[in-house]
Amino acid sequence: MNTSKMLAQGVMFLTFAIVPFIAFIVLGQTTFFPYIVGKNFAFRIVVEIMFAGWVVLAAIDPAYRPKKSYLLGALAAFVGIITLAAIFGENPTKSFWSNFERMEGVVTYFHVFAYFIAACSNGRGYSPWCRMAHA
Rounded CA separation 108/128 (Å): 24
Residue 20 burial class via C-beta count within 10 angstroms: exposed 0-12, middle 13-18, buried 19 and up: exposed
| 83 in Cβ contact with 106 (< 8 Å) | yes
Q: How far is CA 48 from the centre of its chain?
A: 7
| 7 in Cβ contact with 49 (< 8 Å) | no
Candidates 44, 46, 66; CA nearest to 55 is 66
Residues whose CB is less than 8 angstroms from the CB of residue 48 and which lie 6 or more positions away in sequence, other chains included = 111, 114
**3-state DSSP: the chain helix, strand, coil percent, rounded to 5?**
70, 0, 30
pTM, two decimal places:
0.80
pLDDT, residue 124, reads 54
pLDDT, residue 36, reads 80
Q: What does the pLDDT look like over 5-56, one tens digit per residue?
A: 787 777 777 777 777 787 777 766 777 787 788 888 888 888 998 899 889 8
pLDDT, residue 28, reads 67
Q: Write out the residue range of the structural domain in which residue 12 sits.
A: 3-133
**Domain tally for the chain?**
1
Q: What does the pLDDT look like over 120-134, one tens digit per residue?
A: 886 555 555 555 555
